[in-house]
Chain A
Amino acid sequence: MTESPKDLKYTREHEWVRLEDGAAVVGITDYAQEQLGDLVYFDLPEPGTELRQFEKLGEAESVKAVSDLFAPLSGEVIEVNESARESPEIVNSDPYGEGWLVRMSVADFSELEKLLTAEEYDALIAAESEE
């Protein structure tokens, strides 16, 4: 298994978050896209939506299942990746790059402490894979 990028933080629900210019870019991890299989649809919030940390952000639908997505941090949705909406398969091919999902403002940077580091996340998915 490839290691998760070190510069990101992770949720136990397989979202990643990257800080860029004081805002948070959010997506789902490589492990998540692999588990879900071919992604066919994302239900994402409109810009302006206020979310609290770990609140439901939207839904990812693959050919196999529909999964809820959770906000890794509290804040307001600033931008939605229209490319991911129109071509969900880019999340399969490039989950940490082109396949980002939403950009959010960060209401409270201390919430980052509640997220996992890459090492902790890798340990989590290693444990999940063994089950």
Chain B
Amino acid sequence: MRTFISDCQRATLLIERRADQQLPLAERMQLWAHLRLCAYCRRYAVQSPALARAARLAAQAPSTAQLPPDFAAQLQRRLDEPG
């Protein structure tokens, strides 16, 4: 039988929701109880926000890309003669 206390699928879903909103008290307690027992989900709880931070960093990573000159020249013409 599927009970919350051993339900890693539900626990990890709550971990994701928790990052965005405060969980209702009952769910917070269920999650707390689950995390006491489940080492895998404790790992998940640590790694999940780390992954979010990494994604943020990757999106901000310095880049040296430049607009292709042809494309930029074409755009520049449009900006020079608005209307």
The answer to whether A and B come from one shared complex is: no
Residues of A within 8 A of B (CB): none
Residues of B within 8 A of A (CB): none
